[in-house]
Structure formats: structure tokens, C-alpha cells
Structure 1
Amino acid sequence: MAEPKQLFLNLFEMACVSHITHGLWPLPGNNRHRFAELDYWTELAGILENGGFDGVFLADVIGAYDVFRGGPETALREGLQSPNIDPLLVIPAMAAVTKRLGFGVTFSTTYEPPFAFARRMSTLDHLTKGRVGWNVVTSYLPNAAHNFGLDGEVPHDLRYEYADEYLDVLYKLWEGSWDDDAVIADRERGIYTDPAKVRYIDHVGERHRVSGPHIVHPSPQRTPVIFQATGSPAGIEFAGRHAEAVFTGGRTSEEFRRNADTMREAAVRHGRRSDDIKFIAMAGVVVGRTEEEAADKWRLYQQHSSLDGILAHSSLPVDLTAFPRDITVAEALRRAEVAPERVPFLPLERTVGQALDFISGSRDDRFFVAGTPTVVADEIERWLDEDGLDGINLRQYHSFDTARDFAELVVPELRKRGRLPEEGSQPGTLRERLFGAGNSRVPDRHIASRYRGGANLANPVEPLRLAGAGNVASF
């Protein structure tokens, strides 16, 4: 009989007050306001490590949400991802008080040069003993582009072409610049590194020129686990080439499976196996010792949820709250002089009230459950076995109650069913937790491996070309 499929369990975090559950930070006992205190992160790390979590996933943005109502005021009032501290800097503190917990961290490929980032990630992989992954993003906020000297956003598909070269540079540095045995630490001869086993990469591309060599010796994973969140055609093609774990979702089982299948097909197109990508969805779990307790918690969270925060987070270019609830969305857009093409996700034929109700409840989709530990575990097993999900990013409604509730009530039930490792399981690298013991490095079929041992450094890989990417003269 086959072993039950195990869940990869992440807590979804961000170093800010209001991440994705807006309006809840003032709730009694909520610690969100402590996000800039080191103790917040070490305390959280202990809860997750002792509570059976595999990792904490740290989101990030590099701009303000200033589209809704024409400025950042709503987002600032809500604490919506601003203020927001650098997530890379909290990882060493969390790693110092844990042995097993993994870390996924977000960083954009669009605005900052690759050489310095390669150094930071190799450093984190060393300090965590191989427990770090990178969520590759290309940045979507207009304000982020302005912060780095551009007149506007780089077109979506072109950002992915830029990202493809960015990763090519990183792979050359991480995989090709140093041999595994370059560091010899020969005390008798006074030689620390064998120069014959370190090389320049001499990358000359359309956007980057990087000589190398990498300034950090090989870390446990060399290349950190590559995460990606996507659903667009360009993102799917990019994921097929690079991603090892993809954050995706769907309002129905069929939609999720369709999204996952398109990425599996993209992986095969790029010479990989269909199971080389794991799929992780953001999940909402509200658990109580009784159904009544769980229902009370969920009612509290719904009552305090902020519609303004949700609308600002959506970067909605029209303030629907300023219009009567009984007129259609199409009429509201006409009065606001906003072209429907700017809001393709809004149902034009519905009333403003219906649209606002849909937006405020749109996060409670397929991957949401409220109930007792048994009810929650049953639903998670359906996600694993019926939908084909590999893991979840647990959405936080309350810090630290969401994590504590899951650890104390749900984890024991999942362990009884063989869905999580037993308490005290041996630490390993993040990639090993995802793909099994002995898999600390990217497999030979991953594009990063082509540079191992210094191979192909003078033979650049064909760039990923995406139809309709366009050009940006100002960049």
C-alpha cells in the first residue's frame, strides 16, 4: 500500500502590519504591530519549528499601493504592506533559533543587479545550512518602477524576459564559478582556496555584464529552491523552465488542476519531468476545538475585515464605494471615466454592491476550511489526494493564534494520518523536504545544472522569448 502523500506546510508571512488579511491587526492579542522587533521573528520561528511547520514564506513589495483613490493614503491608514522591512534580514535571526524550519523569501529580478543578490542568497544558504528558497518575482506596482527611476512599469512579458537572463547570471555564479572542492583550507601550506577551481563567468547578455567569479564559496544547496507565483502565459513558460515550487490556486478543483497541468506541460517542454514542480496554494484555515468555536473565530475575522484594505491591495483604479450599490459596475466605470479594459476582472453587468461583496469574499475559495481538527484534516486530505496539491501557504488571520491553532490542533491530526513528518524528524535542506533525502542540489535536468564544473559558461543558453513582450526605451 502506498504511503500517504505528505503536506508541505508553510506559514505565509510578510514583514509588515497588514499583509493579506486587512483590518485584523487591532484584534486583541494580535502581534502584527511588532513586525519590526527581532523578538517577533524569533518567537514566531519557535512556534513554527516546534509546531511541525516546514517553512515560513516571506512575501515582499518594493513600492507603495498608490493606485486606489489616486494615492497611498488608504494603504498607509490600513498599514497595507507599508511600513515594510526587508525580509532577507530577518531570516538569520529565525535560523539561529531553529534547526529544521525552511525559509522562502521574495526578491525582484527587475530593478537590482544580480551579482549582489547572488552573494546575499549564498550567504543565507550557508547561514541556514541549506534551508532557504527564493520566490522569483518581477514586481508589479507602478510605484516600484518610479522608485528605481523609471517613468512606468516594464511591460509584463518583458519583465519575464529580463528575469530569464537574471537567473542565467545567477546560475553561472552559483553552479559554475566554483567547484565543490575549491576550498581546501590547507593550514600547512597556508592555502585556503585552490585558484584552479574558481573561474570567471564572463557573462555578456542583452541586459547584464558580469565577470565574476562568485564571491561566496559553494553553499549547501548552491542554487536555493526556486519558488514562483504565477498564472499568466508568460509566467507559466518561465515556471516550466525554472520553478521548483509554484504558488497557484483556483476557485474550483478543476481550475486548480488546469493551472497545474499547464505548468507540468511547460516543464516537459523544457526537458524536465512533469513532477519536477510542486504546487502550493494559499489556504485559509480557521480551526477550533468545537464547530462553535471555529465559527465564532471566523465570524470575528469577517466582522473586522477591511473592504478599504482589500480594494487598495487590488490597486483598483475606481473607488466603487463612492457609487450607489444598485447601479451596475459598467455605469460606475462610465461615471468615473475609467475604461473597462483597466479592470477586466470586474463583472460589468453586476451591481456595484454585488461586485463589492464578491471582492470582499473572493479569498474564501476552494482552499478554505473552518471547523474542528477532524474537519480541517479531512479537507486538507482532499486537497492533497483529489486536487493534487503538494503544500499550503497558511494565511494568517491573527499572529500568533493562526499558527498556534494549526500547530496545536491540526498538526497532531495530520501526523496521525501520515500527512506530516513525525515530531523530531531529522533536519535537512529545504530542497530535500520538497523532493526527498539526497536531493539538496537541482537535478541534472534543471537548466541551472548546465553550468556545473564551469561547463557552458562561454555557450550562453538561448534566451526565453515571449510573444508580445515589446520594448521599453526608458529602461
Structure 2
Amino acid sequence: MAKQILLNAFNMNCIGHINHGLWTHPRDTSTQYKTLDYWTSLARLLERGLFDGLFIADIVGTYDIYGQSLDLTLKESIQLPVNDPLLLVSAMAAVTRHLGFGLTANLTYEAPYLFARRLSTLDHLSNGRVGWNIVTGYLDSAARAMGLTQQPEHDRRYDQADEYLQVLYKLLEGSWADDAVVADRQQRVYARPEKVRKVDHQGEFYKVDGYHLCEPSPQRTPVLFQAGSSQRGLAFAGNHAECVFISGQDKAATRAQVDKVRAAAQAAGRDPQAVKVFMGITVIVAATEQQAQAKHAEYLHHASAEAGVAHFAASTGIDFAAYALDEPIAFSQGNAIQSATRQLQENAWTRRRLLQQHALGGRYVTLVGAPEQVAEELIAWIDETGLDGFNLTRTVTPESFEDFIDLVIPQLQQRGRYKTAYAEGTLREKLFQADHPHLPADHPGSAYRFTSTPAPTGALHHA
């Protein structure tokens, strides 16, 4: 049976997310991001389209590399201002039944003890529809704002992240037994004391001596997303990630990246096919190819290529504004996103080439065409690369999601490559067609589940 495509809407609690400048389009509503109606309407729309989830990106810090200022960032609203993503979930969960929510949170600045409570609370309120996109941060502006001089070194951030996950597993999986809560009114026992265990973690980065504040939520640990593609990031993903988000430019390179993700999971003793790999993609579709091309041209008129390059500058730590249009950009190994700097290292980039690449305000693969053309190309990406699905970016909001749902989804369904109804259960059960809502047995987090013996204390596999 052909693989069915998984699909997340890719968004952020801000105006300019990936395809910058399109907030100026007269039909775009992204300036309403501060209102609940903006988000609840989006959630209803995505559930109508049977989307698996709404993947909400986030950033801590500001993009101050390009031109060594915030001027363009503020003028074009390049992920600034940006509001908290987790606070959106309760409202959207209340107006939907099936839609999942992938939430980005930077563990460098979130104490694990309190963050575990926030995750459990949202998993309860959504009835098990929450995922966490694990990020460690890459902006020195965030570090300075949080009282540090600069970000910790790249690989060191992943060492801290490994221990952070150990603490979360101990809290979410090991502090309360499945049958701890009995809610017995007659015996006046809500929770059985012998079924609730204190977490005692004394590590290099974290020290926790206390009980998880929440009773077990439907999934216990939310579905774990991650996007690192460096050698250290892949080792982290192999240990922890259930879903991995990659950025691809061509099918051959994407296939190689998918293979690396699966190899990392296998090296960690997990089923490599159990990890779902998503790629970011932009789609501009209309009833005919000619109309789609016209829409693309219209969007290009409003997009800001310079804002896209400014965003990319923050990802690399290189001030592209300091270079003349055709001056070769010098590669430098910094402490930012290694996959972004690797692109510069492997290609002869100039600012002119970057502006051309970011013509639509972002650098993701963009498909433009009639519904059947887009559907066939999406299927080709899945079949030729081993991908499991896509994070669909927005261009003009909510028009781009509406177009995809009304025009592309039916084409995928006709080809048997997209579901026609939601399955029941939690987000994890839906994504993995699992028969239970918890981490699978081969995931290292499952070893921390409450048993008659204490949870493990050893380090996770780092190879």
C-alpha cells in the first residue's frame, strides 16, 4: 500500500514567519495574530482539511545580524513581535477534536520542572493532542537578554538537552503510576501515596528533588519533534525524536538527509522507520497552471527578498549586508545553525544569489501549479526521498491554506495518498497508527516509566 502523506500547517505566533513581506498583501490577515479568533478560525480550517497538526515555530531573541541592527527586522516584522505559542493551544483545542499541536519551546531557558507541568496541562486539556518541538536556541541576542554573554557552544547545548530530556522522562513517565489516581470519594482517596514517587535527579546541568505536579496525561510525554541536522543534532534525534523536521532543496540531498535520520535512530536501538520525517514546503496553487503562475507573480510583488536574507543571516551568524551584491560571501564556522552555514560552505554564494533564492521571502522549495500538478509533485517528493510528510508554510493567510485544502487535498485523496477521515486517539496514536498513546518500548524515555524499581540514572547513547 502506498504511503499516505502526513501534513502539518507551519506557522508562528507572529506576522512574518518564513515567506517574508507577504503581510503587505491586501488579502493577508496575519496582522490579526494577536486575536483568538485568528487562531481558532485557523484551527477549524485545518481540521476541515484533515491536517495532522499545526506546527508552531518559535524563537527567543531577535534577528540583529543583518546590518548589525533591528531596523529591517522591525520594519518587515521578521518574527518580531512574536508571542508565546503554548498559550494558543487551549483555545484551538476547544474548537477542534482531532487537530494536533506541535509546540516549539527552547529548553535552554525553560526550567524542566515547571515546563513538565505546562506540557502535562496542555496534554490534559487537548485530550492528548500535544507535541513538543525541542530546540536549544542559536541566537546570541537571546543569551544576552537572558543574562548570558553568549549562547553555549553548539555541541554543549545538546549535552544539556540530553540531560533535560532525562529529567522530563523522570517527571512525566516515572513520578506517577498509571493507576495512581483512583478518585474514591467514599474512602477519601484521590491519589494513592504509594503510587507517586519523588524524582531525585542530581546531574551536571539540573538538580531536581520533587514530585511531578500533574497526574499522568493521556500521552504522558508529548510527541517529540526535533530539527537538528548536525552530527550532534542527528545523534540527539536518534535518541529522542519521534518526528524530525528537515529543510531540503533537491530530492537527492533530501534523500541523503532522511537516510541519516533513520540511521541515527537505528544506531540508538530504535526502529528507523518509526521516525517520521517532515520537510518544509511552500505551495501556490490555483484552478489552472496559468492562474497559479499569475498568483505567484502577484505574491512576488509583495514579498521581501531582503527580509528573507536578513532572516537567513541570523541563522548563519553572517552579516550579508556587509557584502556587495556580487562579492563572494566568506564562510565562517560559528555557533549558529550548522546546516545553514554548511549551505554557504558548499556553494559559491553572493548576496545577489541569496536575494534570488529568497524571492518569495523564504528559501523553502516552492511548488506552483494546478491542483493535479502539485499533488503529483508532492507524491514524487515522498516516493523519491523517503519523506513521511510536509510542514506546509503560509504565504498569504489564510488564503494559502484554504487553496491547499480545497484544491490539493481532494487530488491527494483521489490518488489514495491522503486520509479521508481522522483516526481516533491521541496525536501519537494517529501519527504512528499505534495501539496505545505512550512512547514505544524501544524509545529510551519508556524506560523511565513508573515501575516497582526506580527509573534509570545512566547517560543516554551519544554515538
Partner of 2:382: 384
Partner of 1:469: none
The runs of 5 or more residues in structure 2 that have no matched partner are 335-340
**Is the contact made by 1:62 and 1:144 (CA closer than 8 Å) also made in structure 2?**
yes
Cα deviation per residue 1:391-446 (whole Å; 9 max; x = unaligned)?
111010011001111111111121222222214x3432111121104141111110
**Is the contact made by 1:80 and 1:313 (CA closer than 8 Å) also made in structure 2?**
yes
Q: Distance in 1 between matches of 2:295 and 2:280?
A: 19
1:238-257 to structure 2, matched below 5 A, reads 238-257=236-255
Q: Distance in 2 between matches of 1:113 and 1:211?
A: 13
**Is the contact made by 2:199 and 2:211 (CA closer than 8 Å) also made in structure 1?**
yes
1:27-42 to structure 2, matched below 5 A, reads 27-42=25-40
Cα distance change, pair 111–457 in 1 and its aligned pair in 2 (3 A): farther
Cα deviation per residue 1:253-275 (whole Å; 9 max; x = unaligned)?
22111111112111111111111
Secondary structure of 2:109's counterpart equals coil
1:46-445 to structure 2, matched below 5 A, reads 46-314=44-312, 315=314, 320=320, 324-326=324-326, 328-329=327-328, 340-341=332-333, 345-346=343-344, 352-360=351-359, 367-423=365-421, 425-445=422-442
Secondary structure of 1:329's counterpart equals coil
Percent identity, aligned pairs only, is 44
Q: Distance in 1 between matches of 2:214 and 2:291?
A: 51
**Is the contact made by 1:450 and 1:456 (CA closer than 8 Å) also made in structure 2?**
no
Partner of 1:336: none
Cα deviation per residue 1:296-333 (whole Å; 9 max; x = unaligned)?
1111222222122112212266654565534x325xx6
Secondary structure of 2:50's counterpart equals coil
Q: Distance in 1 between matches of 2:332 and 2:266?
A: 37
Cα deviation per residue 1:127-153 (whole Å; 9 max; x = unaligned)?
111111000000111111112110011
Greater CA deviation, 7-16 or 435-444? 435-444
Q: So what's the TM-score if we normalise by structure 1? A: 0.91
Compute the displacement of 1:458 (Å): 5.7
Q: Distance in 1 between matches of 2:26 and 2:177?
A: 53
**Is the contact made by 2:304 and 2:360 (CA closer than 8 Å) also made in structure 1?**
no
Secondary structure of 2:199's counterpart equals coil
Compute the displacement of 1:204 (Å): 0.9
Greater CA deviation, 345-354 or 302-311? 345-354
Q: Distance in 2 between matches of 1:121 and 1:16?
A: 22
Q: Counterpart of 1:356 in structure 2: which amino acid?
A: L
**Is the contact made by 1:177 and 1:212 (CA closer than 8 Å) also made in structure 2?**
no
Partner of 2:338: none
Q: Distance in 1 between matches of 2:259 and 2:453?
A: 31
Q: Distance in 2 between matches of 1:242 and 1:456?
A: 23
Q: Counterpart of 1:286 in structure 2: which amino acid?
A: I
Cα distance change, pair 385–463 in 1 and its aligned pair in 2 (3 A): closer
Q: Distance in 2 between matches of 1:325 and 1:300?
A: 25
Cα distance change, pair 458–56 in 1 and its aligned pair in 2 (3 A): closer
Secondary structure of 1:405's counterpart equals helix
Q: Distance in 1 between matches of 2:423 and 2:68?
A: 51
Q: Distance in 2 between matches of 1:394 and 1:341?
A: 30
Cα distance change, pair 27–154 in 1 and its aligned pair in 2 (3 A): same
Q: Distance in 2 between matches of 1:162 and 1:263?
A: 21
Count of residue pairs brought into register by the alignment: 454
**Is the contact made by 1:65 and 1:72 (CA closer than 8 Å) also made in structure 2?**
yes
Compute the displacement of 1:177 (Å): 0.7
Runs of 4+ in structure 1 displaced over 6 angstroms? none
Greater CA deviation, 295-304 or 83-92? 295-304
The runs of 5 or more residues in structure 1 that have no matched partner are 334-338, 467-475
Q: Distance in 2 between matches of 1:109 and 1:352?
A: 33
Compute the displacement of 1:233 (Å): 0.5
Compute the displacement of 1:185 (Å): 0.6
Q: Distance in 1 between matches of 2:380 and 2:354?
A: 30
**Is the contact made by 2:429 and 2:436 (CA closer than 8 Å) also made in structure 1?**
yes
Cα distance change, pair 296–445 in 1 and its aligned pair in 2 (3 A): same
Q: So what's the TM-score if we normalise by structure 2? A: 0.93
1:10-25 to structure 2, matched below 5 A, reads 10-25=8-23
Cα distance change, pair 340–356 in 1 and its aligned pair in 2 (3 A): farther
Q: Counterpart of 2:355 in structure 1: which amino acid?
A: L
**Is the contact made by 2:132 and 2:222 (CA closer than 8 Å) also made in structure 1?**
yes
Partner of 1:473: none
Cα distance change, pair 293–77 in 1 and its aligned pair in 2 (3 A): same
